[in-house]
Structure 1
C-alpha cells in the first residue's frame, strides 16, 4: 500500500468514526450540561435531576452512536439493527459501552444490508413487508445475543486493558507526550477522527466515573493554534500579518481550528510550536487536575468554559493560557528567524501544499446524467462535512461573501452530511464525502472539492450564478420592454387620434375625448359624465398646451380597461383661461396609464416636440410617440 493510499484509508476510517459521533454531539452536550449542573459536585446539585446522568450515558448515548453507525452503512434500517445489536453489549457490561457501540452499530448495518441483498428479487409479491420485518427482527435479536455472550466480554476486556494503559500513562506523567501525535495529526485534518473517534469515548467513560475528564482537552485545546497565529500577527509582514487577526477570531472564538493549519504548513518547523504548546497545556491540565464534563464542540474558548465543571475554571484556563504562551514563544523565535534571513512566507503556497497533502483532484466536472441546476433555479447551497461546523463553516463563509459581492441573495449554509436539507439545489463536500452526500441528498447537484480553504470551484460557481443573474436581468428588461410596448399599443388605437379639429367649448372637447374611449370599449358611457365632474372640481390643464381630462376617483368602477384618446385642436380650446391644443382623454385601470403619462411628460418638456404635436398632420408620428 502506498503512503498516499494509506493516508486516504486512515482519513476515511477517521471520518467514519467521526460520522458516528458528530451527529449526536448535541446529545453529548445535553448530558454534559446536566452532569455539570446537577450532580452532587455540580453547579446546582439536584438529586432528582442528577438521576438522568446514569441512564443517558449507559443507554442513550451508546444507542445513538450505534444507530448513527448502522445508518451510515445501511440507512435507517441499518441504524435500527445497529441499535438493537448494541443492547447486547450494554446489558452485558457495567461500564458505558461506547467502543462496543462503535463496533455493533456498523456491524448491524452491514449484516442487515447483506441479508437484504440475499432476499432481493427472491420474495413473492405480497410477502415483502413480512420478510423485511422478520429478517430485521431475527438479525437484530441474533446480533444482540452474540454481543451479550461474546463481543461484550471481549470489548470489556479490551477496555480494561486500554484503561490500564491510560492509567499507567497518566500515573507516569507521560500524558503530555500525546501531543507528539495529536498536534501533527490535526494538521492532516484528522482532528475530528482523533477527538470524536478515540478521545471522546475515553473521556465520556472517565467523566461518568469522576465527573470530568482530561481526554476532552487533548485535541480541542485552542491554545497551541492561538499562539502560532499571535506570533504571525506580531512578527510576520504583509498579507500574512494582515490575515492573522481574522484567523484568530475564527479559531479562538469560533472554534474552527482548521483555519490555522495552513499557517503551520507555511513553515513546517512550527510543528514544534504546536507540539510544545499542546504538551505544556496537557502538563498543566494534568498537574492542576483539570477536566471537562463533555466534548467542547466546536473547540472555542466559549465551549471550553461552558463544559467546565464547578471549581475547575482556573485549572482549565491556566492550561489554555500556558499552551498559548509556549506556542507563541516557540513560533515567534522561528518566524523572527525566517524574517531575519529574508525568507518569504506564502499563505497561498501553504494552502496549495495542504491541498497536495489531502489530494489535488478537483471533482467538479459532473458525469453524464447527473443533476445540474440552472442559475435561476438555485436558491440554497449547502456545505456539508462530518460535523457541519469547522471546514464546511469556513467554506460557506467564503462562498457567501463571494455571492454577496455579485449581488446574489442565494442562501448558503453549512450542515453535517446527515442533516443536508432536501430543498438544497447544490451540495458542496470534500471529495471523500461526496458519495455519502449523494445518498443523503439524491436530488441535489453535488460539487466535490479537495479542500474548503481555497478551491477554484467557488469562483466557477460564482461566475455561473453571476452569468445567470445577468442573463435574467437582460431577459426581464426585454420582457418588460415588450410588455410595455404591447400595453401602450393596446392603450392607444389609431382611430382614437383625431387631428386638425376645429375649436370647440371645453366641455364639448371633453365629451369628444370621452366618446372615443366609450366607443372603443375602454369605459362605460357614464364615465364621460365623471370626466366633466372632474373638470368642474379642478382643471386638468397641465401646461405646454396640453389638457388630460379624466374621471373622478369614484368613477374607477366605470373603467373596463386602460385607454387614451388624443384630440388635436390647432387653434386651441379654452381650459379656464389656458389654451389647450392637445386634449388627451384618459381612463386608467390600476397604474397602467402612468407609463403613458410619464412618456407624455417627457414629450412636452421639449418645446420643439410639443410644438410639433400641436401642429402635425402626421397621425403615425403621434401614434409612435405615444406607443414606442
Structure 2
C-alpha cells in the first residue's frame, strides 16, 4: 500500500515540478507588486489574478495530460482544465490535477480504439476532430460536474482550516500533513489545497500562514541533522548533501526516505511542524505567495516587509524541535553499530554477538546462509537496463562462488528465488511477489553497500537477511564435514581461467554509429529523456508513445546508475511500443542534473528481449575502469564509443 501511495504521489509531483518556474514567477510578481508588496504597482499587480486563475491550472492540466498521452494528451488536458476553471472563485489546481490526466486517458483509449481503422489520407482529419470533440465533451464535464465537486471539496477543507485558525488549533494540521508529505503527497496538499486557500487569504490581508503549513523547511532540516549526528553510520555520510538539497534547494523529497526507513521519525516531523505553526501563529507570520520550491531562499523571496523575524522564528522552531525529538527517537546514537568495517569484515563487537543475531532471524524476516545461495535475482521495474547493470556487476563478483545471477522484472521474481536484490522503492512489491525470499534493498545502482553485504555473506558463509549479515549458522555436522573434506580432496584442481577473447565490433542495430550523439548541450532531465526517446524513435526502435513510457518510468525510481551515467527506459506497459532492440548513446559534456546528481552519459534502452545484455555488461566493465569511464564522458569519436562498449565474445 505504501508503495502505491508513493507512486501516486510521484505522479502528482510530476504534474507540479515541471511548472515550478511558473509558480516562482507568480510568487515574485505577487511579492513585489501587490499593494502590500515591496514595490506596489497597480498595473503590474493585475498580472497576479489571471496567472493564478488561468495560467497555473492550465499548465498543470497540460503537463498531466502530456504524461498520459504525449502532446495530444497535453492539448486535451488543457482544454478540459478550462472547464473546471470557468465559473469558480478559487484557483483550480486540484481540478487541473484531475481533468488533465483524465481527459488524456479518455483520448488515449479513443485513439487505441480507432488505430489501424482510419482510411489512408484521413489521419490528420480524424486526429484533429477526435481531439476537438472529446475536448469539448471533457470541458463540459469539467464545467458541469468535476468543477462543482472540487469547489465544494475545497470549500469544506477551507472551512475546516478556518475553524482551526479561528480556534488557535492550526498546529493540529501537522498531524495529517506531515505523514502525508513523507508518502510523497506534498505537492497535492500544498498546491492542491493550501495554496488556493492561502491565495484567497493573501489577497485580503496581504499574507497567509497557510503557505507555511506544508512548505516549511525547518522540520526536514531538523530530521536530517538528527540523522547526521545520531543516525545509522552508513547514512551519516549522505546527510550533509541531503541537508543542502533540502534546505537551500527546497527539495523536501530528499528527506522522506530517511523517515520511511525509521517510521517513528514521523513523530519528529509532526512535533516540528506543530511547534513551528504554534510560533508562527503567535507571531502573525505569513508569506505573500507559495514558497516554491520550499527552500529558505524562496521563503526570503516571498516574505512581506516586516515579516522576516517571524518567518525565521517559525522555520527555526520547526528545525530545533524536530532535531531534539528526532535525536531522542534515534537514542542520541546509543546502540548504533556499524555492521561492516571499512575493509568489508565484520566488526568485532558485531561478531561477538553473531550467534544471537543468527537465531533471531525470524524477527528480521527470511534468513539464508550465504553458503547455500545458488542463485541471486536482480529485480527492477521493467527488467531492462537497471537490473541488467546490477546483474552484470554481481555476476562478475559471484562467479567464483558458483552463484548464478539473473535479472528479471519485479513482477517476474520466481517462486524459487532465495535472495533478491532490488531498489528500495520496489521492496514491497518484491516481498509481496515472493514472501519467502530474502529481499535486500539498495538505493544506488552502482557501488551500493548492499552489494558488498551480499558478496560478503556468500564468500564467508554468513547469514544474510534484509537488514544485514551475521556469523554463520550452526556448524556443519562432523560427518558431513568429513564427507565434504574427502570430496574436496578427491576433486581435481580447478581448471585455469579461460583466456579473454578479443573484442568484436558491435553488430548494427543494437548500438550503431547513428545512435551515438556526442557533445550535446546541457538540458533538463526531462528534456534529456525526451531526446533519448526521440533518438530511439528516429532509429526505428520504438514509436513516439514509448517516450511517454520513459518519462513515466522515471517517476517510479530514478534510472541514474552512478558514475555519471543514466539509462532511461520505459515501463513494462510501454514495451508494446518497442519495434526492435536498440540502444542509444547521448553525451552531455557539461552534464544533466539528474535528481541532484550529474549525468554526462545517457543511454536509452528499447528492448523486449535480452539483446541488449552484452552491451550493458560491457558498459558495467567500462565504468569500473575510471580511465574508460572518463573517455566515454569526454571523447569526440563515435568509433571510440563503439570500441569501448564492444562486448566480449562468450
If the length of structure 2 is used for normalisation, what is the TM-score? 0.55
Give me the whole-angstrom Cα distance separating, in 2, the residues matched to 1:471 and 1:244: 27
Deviation, 1:181, is 3.1
Which residue is 2:89 aligned to? 94
**Distance (whole Å) between structure 1 residues aligned to residue 525 and residue 306 of structure 2:** 34
Q: Residue 80 in 1 paired to residue 75 in 2?
A: yes
1:465 aligns with 2:483: no
Q: What's the CA shift for 1:306?
A: 1.7
Does the aligned pair in 1 maintain the 2:80–2:103 contact within 8 Å? yes
Contact 2:5 2:183 in 1 (8 A): no
The SS at the match of 2:83 is helix
The structure carrying a bigger helix percent of its residues is 1
Q: Could you tell me whether the CA contact under 8 Å between 2:9 and 2:184 is conserved in 1?
A: no
Q: Which of 516, 531, 545 is the equivalent residue of 1:422? A: 531
User: For residues 237 and 15 of structure 1, what CA distance do their matches in structure 2 show?
Assistant: 27
Q: Does 1:51 align with 2:57?
A: no
1:422 is paired with a residue whose SS is helix
Q: Secondary structure at the match of 1:289?
A: coil
Q: Does structure 2 conserve the Cα–Cα contact (< 8 Å) formed by 1:23 and 1:416?
A: no
8 Å CA contact 2:245–2:251 kept in 1: the answer is yes
Output aligned runs, 1:445-456, within 5 Å.
none
Question: Are positions 1:113 and 2:105 aligned together?
Answer: no
Q: 1:445-496 CA deviation, whole Å, 9 max, x = no partner?
A: 69xxxx999xxx99986643345954998x99xx99xxxxxxxxxxxxxxxx
Distance 1:281 1:20 in 2: 28
For structure 1, which runs of at least 5 residues remain unmatched after alignment?
1-5, 349-355, 372-384, 386-393, 400-408, 481-628
Alignment CA distance shift 1:337-1:28 (3 Å): closer
Q: Partner of 1:164 in structure 2? A: 159
Once the two structures are superposed, what CA deviation does each residue of 1:117-142 show, in whole Å capped at 9, x if it has no partner?
A: 33322222222222222222222223
Is 1:35 aligned with 2:144?
Answer: no
In structure 2, what is the equivalent of residue 325 of structure 1?
Answer: 320
Superposed displacement of residue 28, structure 1: 0.9
Counterpart pick for 2:266 among 265, 271, 282: 271
Task: Please say which of residues 147-156 and 315-324 is displaced more in the overlay.
Answer: 147-156
Q: Is the 8 A contact 2:234 2:338 kept in 1?
A: no
Distance 1:158 1:81 in 2: 24
- The answer as to 2:147 corresponding to 1:178 is no
Q: How many Å separate the matches in 2 of 1:279 and 1:452?
A: 29
Tell me what 1:344 maps to: 337
Shift of the 34–276 alpha-carbon distance from structure 1 to 2, 3 Å rule, reads: same
**C-alpha distance 398-24 of structure 1, shift in aligned 2 (>3 A):** farther
SS state at 2:531 partner: coil
Report the count of equivalent residues. 423
Sort the Cα spacing of 1:294 and 1:19 in 2 relative to 1 into closer, same or farther, 3 A. farther
Inter-partner Cα distance in structure 2 for 1:465 and 1:113? 40
Q: State the shift of 1:205 in Å.
A: 5.0
Aligned-pair CA distance for 1:16: 2.3
Distance, in Å, in 1 between the alignment partners of 2:206 and 2:528 is 31
Q: Give the 3 Å change call, closer, same or farther, for CA 184–415 of structure 1 in structure 2.
A: farther
Alpha-carbon distance change, 58 to 241 in structure 1, aligned in 2, over 3 angstroms: closer
- Aligned residues: CA RMSD: 4.7
Distance 1:410 1:395 in 2: 26
Q: Does 2:129 match 1:134?
A: yes
**In structure 2, what is the equivalent of residue 376 of structure 1?**
none
Deviations 1:357-406 (A, max 9, x none): xxx943485289x99xxxxxxxxxxxxx9xxxxxxxx979999xxxxxxx
- Write out aligned runs for 1:526-565 (5 A): none
Match of 1:366 in 2: 384
Question: CA separation in 1, counterparts of 2:572 and 2:49?
Answer: 35
**1:418/1:212 CA distance change after superposition, 3 Å:** farther
Structure 1 residue 255 corresponds to structure 2 residue 247 = no
Q: Give the aligned partner of residue 99 of structure 2.
A: 104
- Which 5+ residue runs of structure 2 have no aligned equivalent? 342-365, 367-377, 390-424, 426-442, 449-517, 537-549, 559-568, 586-594, 604-615, 641-650
